[in-house]
Structure 1
Amino acid sequence: MRLARSLQQRGGTFALFEARHRLGGRVLSAKSRSGLALDLGPTWFWPETQPLLTGLITELGLSHFAQHDGGTVLHLKEADKAAEPVNGPPIHQGARRLAGGMSRLIEALARKLPPTAIHLGHELMRIVDCGSHVRLIFATETESVAIEAKRAVLALPPRLLIDHVGFFPALDDATFEAMRNAETWMAAQAKVVIAYDQAHWRDKGQSGNAFVSHEQAVIGEIYDACDEGGDRAALGGFLAFPPDLREAFNVGLPMLMDSQMVQLFGAALDGGEQHYQDWATERFTCSALDRTTPRGEHSEIANPMLRRALWDGRLHLGGAETASHAAGYLEGAVNAARRIERALARAATEPPAGRIAAIGEEVSGNAASLAWFGSWVAAQRDAAFDDYRQRLNRSLATQQREQLTQLAALGAMEQVFAAALQVLDALTFDMRDVAVERGRSALMPEIQKPFRDVMQSLLDDAIAYNRTSCALSNFPFEHKPSKDYVQAILRDIAAAWQEFSLAANRLLLAKGDALRQPTSVSS
């Protein structure tokens, strides 16, 4: 929805399709009988570490308040004993909540969109690359609907794409594997929020935060879910039971959850108003792999293969799990939207990757040549990462064990620099009025400028790829490169960039010298 809003602001033509009969996906807020908003999906945002989401909330003018953390934290370690108070820093570390629930964010974004552009109850079944456009086939309750578009953005978890969507032609193996390995954040979890007549725990000096770690734990983590003033009271919690156990105890689960709240906070919490959501049962949230695979260590940086434009830029993966930062979180969703927004804007100006022949005849004028060159360099991001991946895989195949990332990243950037010299040589520059100071052409800053983003992008993608690569898990220095190792890689790339800059400057000076050579005429 963030991407749809940006397209709306730019005057773009778009349509938004949602499989459910509501917007928001994992964002879901219920209402208690007293009118209190109860978040059954994402609940918090952190201004210090989530600037994109915070900026969007500010832009939309949404009210928010600090998560209540003051008071005693409880820890229930044994099933037949009382909970113990624990000391420590605030549990939620500066978290804030939206007044009225996180669904207010979805509602505010939806209000900015034309109603005719939103299509609920459309489940994507197939997507076909038709060369100049894509065709999307949706299933509704009554019929199959075919839509054609210049480009498509699939803003749902990659594993759900594997479960539900057919791609024609099939995606390449590396992209498919990256999708398969992208765990859907919180997909197999369940959450309960229980409303009460008043915040009895606050009256006792308790924060509402509690942890239950014994083997029979029903709710593993609990927090205060009251409104800003605490007048309308609730506690929220994440279930400790795995999906199969929740299913087995389905009938008795409300009683078990109620009993645990009483054990923690006292008899006053008996019989609260329960609102429960098991995300593992949601077919549009939890994939088969998410449900059956034990939850691993969550990585906030997704495999960069998920951020590549597919089918010559006609298809983009845009779910929160594809983000380069805060993958899986709402911040990651906004991060992914901004990435695709920039990609769509570039698509109108970038030349086809690798096209060099005859450009001297097509592009004339220094400003036009520099702009074309900058677009060409920007278009090398994916090519550079592909080259890095191939070099890394070749090194692994030949059982090389030292400096894998360093050599692959350097080789990939050197290849880009070599191709860039060919492009510069083919471009037309009028050097007659271009200043040269201390042997350096005045055009050089513009020649060098676009490489900064490409070099940083390659390094970021290489590190993210390494962290998500099973093949590198046996190479700890490569799997999670140290700060010193990254600095060494940067120094190598910087040296190669300097060599390119010197060669590019010599090429421009030679072009100028050629223009100044007297023309001889023979009879």
Structure 2
Amino acid sequence: MLETAIVGGGLCGMALARSLQQRGGSFAVFEARHRLGGRVLSARSKAGLALDLGPTWFWSDTQPLLAGLIAELGLSDFAQHDDGTVLHLKEADKPAEQISGPPIHQGARRLSGGMTQLITALSRDLPQSCIHLGHELMRIVDCGTHVRLIFATEAESVAIEARRAVLALPPRLLIDHVGFFPALDDATFEAMRSAETWMAAQAKVVVAYDQAHWRDKGQSGNAFVSHEQAVVGEIFDACDEGGDRAALGGFLAFPPDLREAFNVGLPMLMDSQMVQLFGSALEGGEQHYQDWASERFTCSALDRTTPRGEHSEIANPMLRRALWEGRLHLGGAETASHAAGYLEGALNAAKRIERAIARIGAAPPSGRAPAAGDGLSGNAASLAWFAAWVAAQRDAAFDDYRQRLARSLATQQREQLTQLAVLGAIEQVFAAALQVLDALTLDMREVAVERGRSALMPEIQKPFRDVMQSLLDDAVAFNRTSCALSNFPFEHKPSKDYVQTILRDIAAAWQEFSLAANRLLLAKAEAVRRQPTGVSS
């Protein structure tokens, strides 16, 4: 039986597969398409230029996971050509206006050879026997000790059993295509339904040319078209690093239904707009076009028909919860706690699931102190167990927050809803932690005490930092998606000042917990000191 079945061969699924391969776990990747990459897609021009029809850029200063992975894989990158000049076509029958200003792309970088180099590099060291293309997930069943996944292939239906499954797909696609048995809870289903798939209903064109005529004229290749008849709304330079192989890329302004209606004439319309902006030398370029709204493994029915809402870079925390007692994990960029929807978010989700899998079996059931049967010995092992226990409280703390928030709404409280619920939830974690710490087996004989502070305190405090931050982040993200809080603007989208107030409350509770934990450790040390010689703790 597989340990981990990864459904989805996009960046999240491939990054997770590589991590599991390095750890030595058994896994397999199942992808519905007959290629890997998901929304990462690069075409090749006749001249051999890589043309990104999906994600194009990354930003080293704000996307550390992606920048780090690119460096680790030894991939070459270069700065997006952007000198700050931009053409703005406001009226269909008038020439474009040239504007100068700061670079539009703000430090964006591109991969040499296209973004698919990232997927190729990730898959390079994976056994080919672990990659299964053309496998569309139809059903997933919780069998109590494992899960059963039913895939449709061109030839037959295939059943796979695994200890756990990771669904590294946009949540809305799961609603469209996958049956869950038993059904997921209402809160999770609603979070999946509300998770807009980033760029799913968009279309992109990249046009290759014999040379970068716009650069010869002192233009950057940047352009915006904002009149009502706009075909391509945003255009950018898509040349290679040296500019020897030339191309322009652009995002379609037409919505999906208009793109379908004008399907036959769309290439001519796109060509005409490029000529209008940059001159007759661009007539008849080599077009590569991708309409993601027509991709059934990218765009859900809701993405196609629902207007785009305000994009939040922190996904609903309900999407980050392990389901079916840890046997089911939702992945993909749309579940990320940071940079949701982006490539960075895909890696954020992969890291989260990797940590969750690594924690499995690390901690005994909640509330039970380590015993000899757990194979733990020494302070280092006990502290590692304690850290695993603390990390496992993230979901419990968020559940507590939701319950406190619901009770406040039910009793028609109107003030400080988020503040009080977050504080109550984190105080509950601290109270439980003191009980677990009291029961923890620690050898205090060699533990130093300096200025009234136990030397163990840094290790006791360390695992709480992530829990405190994740609780606040999850609370804010949950509030933004909560219909119940839509009538409470101050809670629905907490201001920076309000968040700072909550942080001060958490800091005060943290200080109180730290003092109590230190007193407990000092008491343990004092008890050992008072024991008769030869008696161990």
TM-score, length-normalised on structure 2? 0.91
* Cα deviation, residue 125, structure 1: 0.8
* Cα deviation, residue 373, structure 1: 2.4
Match of 2:202 in 1: 189
Tell me if structure 2 keeps the 8 A contact 1:129–1:311: yes
Letter aligned with residue 247 of structure 1:
E
Q: Call closer, same or farther: CA 1:371–1:54 in 2, change over 3 Å.
A: closer
Match of 1:41 in 2: 54
Mapping 1:82-161, distance limit 5 Å: 82-161=95-174
Q: Structure 1, residues 265-291: CA drift from partner, whole Å, max 9, x if none?
A: 122222111111110000000000000
Letter aligned with residue 472 of structure 2:
L
Letter aligned with residue 316 of structure 1:
H
Letter aligned with residue 275 of structure 1:
H
Q: Secondary structure at the match of 2:27?
A: coil
Q: Secondary structure at the match of 1:135?
A: strand
* Cα deviation, residue 502, structure 1: 3.4
Residues in 2 aligned to 1:235 and 1:344: alpha-carbon distance in whole angstroms:
43
Comparing 147-156 and 365-374, the one that deviates more: 365-374
Match of 1:325 in 2: 338
* Cα deviation, residue 108, structure 1: 1.4
Tell me if structure 2 keeps the 8 A contact 1:360–1:426: no
Alignment of 1:285 with 2:325, yes or no, is: no
Q: Call closer, same or farther: CA 1:485–1:218 in 2, change over 3 Å.
A: same
Q: Secondary structure at the match of 2:465?
A: helix
Mapping 1:146-225, distance limit 5 Å: 146-225=159-238
Q: Call closer, same or farther: CA 1:512–1:101 in 2, change over 3 Å.
A: closer
Tell me if structure 1 keeps the 8 A contact 2:364–2:370: no
* Cα deviation, residue 70, structure 1: 2.7
Residues in 2 aligned to 1:327 and 1:417: alpha-carbon distance in whole angstroms:
30
Q: Name the Cα RMSD after superposition.
A: 2.2
Q: Call closer, same or farther: CA 1:432–1:232 in 2, change over 3 Å.
A: closer
Q: Call closer, same or farther: CA 1:370–1:46 in 2, change over 3 Å.
A: closer
Tell me if structure 2 keeps the 8 A contact 1:360–1:428: no
Match of 2:367 in 1: 355
Alignment of 1:459 with 2:472, yes or no, is: yes
Tell me if structure 1 keeps the 8 A contact 2:43–2:52: yes
Tell me if structure 2 keeps the 8 A contact 1:37–1:101: yes
* Cα deviation, residue 309, structure 1: 1.3
Of residues 254, 262, 266, the one that matches 2:279 is 266
* Cα deviation, residue 154, structure 1: 0.9
Q: Structure 1, residues 183-231: CA drift from partner, whole Å, max 9, x if none?
A: 0000000011111222111121111111111111111011111112222
Residues in 2 aligned to 1:186 and 1:5: alpha-carbon distance in whole angstroms:
26
Tell me if structure 2 keeps the 8 A contact 1:34–1:232: yes
* Cα deviation, residue 181, structure 1: 0.8
Of residues 56, 67, 73, the one that matches 2:80 is 67
* Cα deviation, residue 293, structure 1: 0.2
* Cα deviation, residue 371, structure 1: 3.1
Match of 2:15 in 1: 2
Of residues 394, 407, 427, the one that matches 2:440 is 427
Of residues 429, 443, 452, the one that matches 1:416 is 429
Q: Structure 1, residues 317-370: CA drift from partner, whole Å, max 9, x if none?
A: 110111111111111111111111111112231223x33389699777544443
Tell me if structure 1 keeps the 8 A contact 2:370–2:441: no
* Cα deviation, residue 398, structure 1: 2.3
Residues in 2 aligned to 1:511 and 1:90: alpha-carbon distance in whole angstroms:
61
* Cα deviation, residue 482, structure 1: 2.8
Tell me if structure 2 keeps the 8 A contact 1:22–1:120: yes
Tell me if structure 2 keeps the 8 A contact 1:309–1:316: yes
Match of 1:500 in 2: 513
Match of 1:79 in 2: 92
> How many matched pairs?
518
Residues in 2 aligned to 1:69 and 1:432: alpha-carbon distance in whole angstroms:
64
Consecutive unaligned residues in structure 2, runs of 5 or more? 1-13, 533-537
* Cα deviation, residue 435, structure 1: 4.7
Comparing 200-209 and 422-431, the one that deviates more: 422-431
Tell me if structure 2 keeps the 8 A contact 1:409–1:459: yes
Letter aligned with residue 151 of structure 2:
F
Residues in 2 aligned to 1:383 and 1:99: alpha-carbon distance in whole angstroms:
44
Residues in 1 aligned to 2:446 and 2:224: alpha-carbon distance in whole angstroms:
72
Comparing 71-80 and 106-115, the one that deviates more: 71-80
Q: Call closer, same or farther: CA 1:359–1:391 in 2, change over 3 Å.
A: farther
Match of 2:3 in 1: none
Q: Secondary structure at the match of 2:221?
A: strand
Letter aligned with residue 182 of structure 1:
A
Alignment of 1:239 with 2:252, yes or no, is: yes
